[in-house]
Amino acid sequence: MPCGRPNCACANDPNRRHGPYYQLSWKEHGHTVSRRLSLEEARLYQEWIANRRQLDSLLVQMKALSREAGQWMLGHLMGEGSRTEDPTGPSQQVGPIPATKVPGYPGQILIAP
């Protein structure tokens, strides 16, 4: 990749290119946007991207745990022991449900429509 200066040797001779180059690309309003990065910026972005991937993984785990806890709570509230159906299935409009104390669960459960 040439450096962008028209009078530089790298503009015309692929064997005289500079490098290495670091580039960050992302989608913005349906278009790919790219930005060149210095080595220091590239190292920071690598760390930030790794942190974001770890956060995304944790969020997936938290959502799964939340669904599991919801199934457990609904099963105990309704006296069914446990539920195996997907609580995110077809829903019906219901009014507000008051805070409830579930035996064996430390705290109140607040459910909003």
Residue 91 has pLDDT above 70, yes or no: no
Residue spans of beta strands (DSSP E) within 1-113: 22-28, 31-37, 97-101, 108-111
Tell me the pTM. 0.51
Domain hosting 65: range is 39-111
Give the count of domains, the chain.
2
Same domain, 89 and 79: yes
Burial of 1-26, coded b for 16+ CB within 10 Å and e otherwise, reads ebeeeeeeebeeeeeeeeeeebeeee
Same domain, 26 and 49: no
Question: What is the identity of the amino acid at 106?
Answer: P
The more confidently predicted of residues 35 and 88 is 35
Q: Would you state the pLDDT for residue 29?
A: 93
Same domain, 103 and 61: yes
Task: Give the integer Cα–Cα distance in Å for 47 and 41.
Answer: 10
Confidence grade of residue 25 (pLDDT, cut at 50, 70, 90):
very high
3-state DSSP assignment of residue 107: coil
Q: Would you state the pLDDT for residue 113?
A: 43
Same domain, 52 and 106: yes
Same domain, 90 and 51: yes
Same domain, 47 and 73: yes
Q: Would you state the pLDDT for residue 89?
A: 55
Q: How many residues does the chain have?
A: 113
CA dihedral 26, 28, 30, 35 (to 10 degrees): -50
Residue 22 has pLDDT above 60, yes or no: yes
Same domain, 18 and 66: no
Average pLDDT over the chain reads: 77
List, for residues 37-89, the tens digit of each pLDDT value: 999 999 999 999 999 999 999 999 999 899 888 888 888 777 754 444 555 55
Same domain, 20 and 52: no
Same domain, 60 and 29: no
Task: Give the integer Cα–Cα distance in Å for 20 and 39.
Answer: 9
DSSP state of 46: H
